[in-house]
């Protein structure tokens, strides 16, 4: 997309005269507009053409993507999106919760006159559109907030890349900041721990194990220096400490393997399917790598993995919801953003 936006107000030449107006831009991954083949294909095509996500040479990857992947996957993923589609608002849960988060956070910043908008790295509303909206509201300082608790080049960095791309097209750029990952931020860990405690307290029999499933990543990316695994371990160490649970009671697994390469292990699906044979038939699953529910949590874990667990002799499977637009999540986002806005408010 070509984005030519030149704000009419000069922002930096007369620093003393210019009013300071920060704005917040929440960035999430992106999601299809609808569940039909073409909509899912369009989304997957943009997502899987990102070289931060698929590092293979385009000469090798493009024919595979345009051939088998974009022929087969949109149909399969479309069916999965259909199962979790939000019928009330006719959109995917990822989009609904991201918008809800932005609106709730905006209410927390109303008195500060700081607008909050949201955008998707892939698809719509685009990052360029989000930036434009903030500039039109007179923002001369923008905090970009990738909504990922753990850093990865495949998520955090590519969201920021897209923001910087939009900035490249401006004559007068606002000042910018980007929110760092918050893998073991105490408020985040407390909110996760409370969601585990809340789930356990509602059950007649406490789960024998709480499995923490993170989105996976190719091992090669970690070996090349992506700090994602370190961040996942940070989250787990802090969460186990907060809950007083051992690695056996709260193990870490990785879901969503894509393609033939080696991904982080243990894989969530095979780990959970083997539990009934070990006598573990009542489990809960938490997904601390996602702050909004999405196809990965609701369908891959909540439907597919759950069905396999029951088929293998499991008796009770509880998926702990992501923080979504809960007051705890909005408080977390407010704390993180207020800290990052220091000196700008």
- Footprint on this chain of ligand L6N33NVT (rule: CB under 6 A): 29, 31, 44, 53-54, 73, 77, 92, 94, 148, 152, 154-155, 215, 217, 228, 256, 258, 289-290, 294-296
* Nearest to ligand L6N33NVT of 55, 334 (CB atom): 55
* Nearest to Fe ion of 100, 300 (CB atom): 300
CB of 325 to ligand L6N33NVT, least distance (A): 16
The one of Fe ion, ligand L6N33NVT, none whose footprint includes residue 213, by CB under 5 to 8 A per kind, is none
CA distance 61 to 66: 9
Strands (E) across the chain are located at 22-30, 116-122, 141-146, 175-178, 209-215, 252-255, 282-286, 316-319
CB of 86 to ligand L6N33NVT, least distance (A): 11
* Nearest to ligand L6N33NVT of 11, 256 (CB atom): 256
The one of ligand L6N33NVT, Fe ion, none whose footprint includes residue 94, by CB under 5 to 8 A per kind, is ligand L6N33NVT
* Nearest to Fe ion of 11, 256 (CB atom): 256
CA distance 23 to 181: 19
CB of 129 to ligand L6N33NVT, least distance (A): 18
CB of 222 to ligand L6N33NVT, least distance (A): 10
Q: In the complex, which residue's CB is closest to Fe ion?
A: 256
Residue count (the chain): 345
Site residues for Fe ion, 245-264, by CB under 5 A, read: 256
DSSP state of 214: E
* Nearest to Fe ion of 300, 325 (CB atom): 300
Look at residues 18, 321, 9, 288 and name the one whose alpha carbon lies nearest to residue 170.
9
Angle between the 37-47 and 70-84 helix axes, to the nearest 10 degrees?
Answer: 110
> Across-strand partners of 177?
143
Site residues for Fe ion, 268-307, by CB under 5 A, read: 296, 300
Check residue 77 for interaction with Fe ion (CB under 5 A). Answer: no
CB of 199 to ligand L6N33NVT, least distance (A): 21
* 188 and 261 Cβ atoms separated by less than 8 Å: no
Does the annotation place 215 within a ligand binding site?
A: yes
Site of tokens 């930036």? 131
Structure tokens at 23: 């704005």
3-state secondary structure 101-165: HHHHHHHHCHHHCCCEEEEEEECCCEHHHHHHHHHHCCCCEEEEEECCCCCCHHHHHHHHHHHHH
* Nearest to Fe ion of 178, 268 (CB atom): 268
Does the annotation place 296 within a ligand binding site?
A: yes
Angle subtended at Cα 68 by Cα 66 and Cα 74, rounded to the nearest 5 degrees: 85
DSSP state of 48: T
CB of 70 to ligand L6N33NVT, least distance (A): 11
Residues in contact with Fe ion by the rule CB under 5 A: 256, 296, 300
Point out the annotated binding site.
Answer: 215, 296
Annotated binding site for Fe(2+): 215, 296
């Amino acid at each position: 997309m070509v984005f030519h936006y030149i704000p009419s107000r000069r922002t930096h030449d007369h620093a003393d005269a210019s009013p300071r107006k920060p704005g917040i831009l929440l960035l999430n991954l992106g999601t299809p507009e609808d569940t039909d083949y073409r909509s899912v294909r369009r989304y997957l095509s943009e997502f899987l053409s990102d070289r931060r996500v698929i590092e293979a040479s385009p000469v090798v990857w493009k024919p595979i993507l345009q051939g088998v992947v974009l022929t087969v996957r949109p149909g399969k993923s479309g069916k999965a999106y259909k199962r979790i589609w939000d019928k009330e608002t006719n959109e995917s849960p990822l989009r609904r919760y991201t918008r809800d988060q932005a609106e709730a956070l905006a209410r927390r910043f109303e008195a500060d006159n700081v607008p909050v908008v949201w955008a998707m790295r892939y698809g719509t509303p685009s990052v360029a559109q989000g930036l434009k909206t903030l500039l039109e509201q007179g923002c001369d300082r923008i905090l970009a907030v990738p909504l990922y608790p753990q850093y990865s080049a495949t998520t955090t960095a590519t969201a920021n890349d897209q923001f910087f791309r939009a900035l490249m097209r401006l004559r007068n750029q606002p000042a910018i900041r980007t929110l760092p990952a918050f893998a073991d931020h105490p408020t985040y860990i407390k909110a996760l721990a409370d969601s585990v405690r809340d789930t356990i307290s509602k059950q007649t029999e406490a789960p024998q194990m709480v499995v923490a499933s993170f989105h996976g990543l190719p091992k090669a990316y970690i070996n090349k220096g992506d700090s994602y695994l370190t961040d996942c371990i940070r989250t787990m160490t802090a969460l186990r400490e907060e809950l007083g649970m051992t690695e056996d009671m709260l193990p870490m697994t990785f879901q969503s393997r894509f393609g033939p390469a080696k991904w982080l292990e243990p894989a969530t699906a095979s780990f959970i399917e083997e539990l009934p044979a070990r006598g573990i038939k009542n489990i809960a699953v938490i997904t601390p790598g996602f702050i909004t529910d999405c196809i990965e949590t609701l369908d891959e874990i909540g439907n597919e993995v759950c069905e396999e667990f029951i088929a293998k002799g499991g008796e009770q499977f509880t998926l702990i919801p992501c923080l979504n637009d809960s007051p705890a999540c909005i408080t977390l986002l407010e704390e993180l953003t207020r800290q990052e806005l220091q000196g700008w408010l």
